[in-house]
Amino acid sequence: MVEITHKNTTLRTAIAQAIVCVSSQKTIDAIQNDLVPKGNVFEMAKTAGLFAVKKTSDIIPDCHPLPVEYTGVTYEVEGLQIKILIEVRTIYRTGVEVEAMHGASVIALTMYDMLKPIDKGIEIQNVKLVKKKGGKSDFKDKFRKDIKAAVIVCSDTISAGQKEDKAGKAIIAKLESAHVEIVDYLIIPDEFDRIQEVTLNHVSQETDLIIFTGGTGLSKRDVTPDALAPLLDREIPGIAEAIRSYGQERTPYSMLSRSIVGTKEQSVIMALPGSTKGASESMDAVFPALLHLFQIFKGARHD
């Protein structure tokens, strides 16, 4: 199955439809008056659909097993057509589109099976996804396209040429995938004064996003958060908490991270872990949703 452990858990909804066309008004009357020999068509088909939604991952090889939080089925009768609408919701890392379409298909097939003794001209049509919501696609193209970022790697060993930077490059790759322009990529020692100097320089240049990686551990040499904290006009603890929570689901050591996020004037400043995995997971935890901050800033300037 496709790797989804990097995704965030969010509310995801899908609505699918199928249409059952019968050949006679007598069939519609039999359904509505509960006169079909095999039983109540709407209730039996609905029950089959509920089972189908829950069993989707058993039938479709690449579907992930997931918690189904809600399934609702409605019918609309228009002439000789019965439109089936099914809504499925979950709070998970992947969507429920296939579950919804599988449920709609099985409801339609169940209706076909129950009605074929009294109607030989039944057709199933238009099984399709009507609507989906939740996940990364909901945020696509909703952010500013002119955001500029600086990525600063704080490491004594990397700045001395003893190690290669991978964390900073992982951050840059994530930013570029979100259409953020990289205006600076810098490697510096993890030194208090140098960190503050670089930060203030980028704030004065009105750099939108200033991301530091490294120096967030508990060693006395890890000073990045200590250098940044007194510069911030306001901390945004929810972002740092989201980073730690995301990491905590993957390794218990994440609780030791001293990631810090806040604002200085119109710049957002972040201090992320220095390991490649820690930096990459931190970016996965809050991007692209963090870019909504700049929409808030834009609105505040207009008020």
Residues 287 and 174 in one domain: yes
Active site residue 113: yes
Residues 150 and 291 in one domain: yes
Domain harbouring 14, CATH code? 3.30.70.640
Residues 116 and 199 in one domain: no
Residues 164 and 286 in one domain: yes
Q: Which DSSP string do the residues of the chain spell out, in sequence order?
A: ----TTSPPEEEEEEEEEEEE-S-HHHHHHHHTT--TT--HHHHHHHHHHHHHHTHHHHSTTPPP----EEEEEEEEETTEEEEEEEEEEEESS--HHHHHHHHHHHHHHHHHHHTTT-S--EEEEEEEEEEE-SGGGGTT-S-S--EEEEEEE-HHHHTTSS---HHHHHHHHHHHTT-EEEEEEEE-S-HHHHHHHHHHHHHTT-SEEEEES--SSSTT--HHHHHGGG-SEE-HHHHHHHHHHHHTT-GGGGG---EEEEETTEEEEEE-SSHHHHHHHHHHHTTGGGHHHHHHHHHHH-
Residues 146 and 289 in one domain: yes
Residues 181 and 208 in one domain: yes
**Residue in 29, 58, 113, 284 annotated catalytic:** 113
Domain harbouring 183, CATH code? 3.40.980.10
Query: Which of 113, 135, 157 is a domain's end point?
Result: 135
Q: Give average pLDDT by consecutive 10-residue segment, the chain, 303 residues.
A: 86 97 97 96 98 96 95 97 98 95 98 97 97 76 82 93 94 93 96 96 96 85 91 94 88 82 94 92 90 74 46
Contact in structure between 242 and 270 (CB atoms under 8 Å): no
What pLDDT is attached to residue 202? 97
In a domain, 46, yes or no: yes
In a domain, 3, yes or no: no
In a domain, 191, yes or no: yes
What pLDDT is attached to residue 252? 79
What pLDDT is attached to residue 8? 80
Domain containing 89 equals 10-135
Residues 210 and 240 in one domain: yes
Residues 97 and 244 in one domain: no
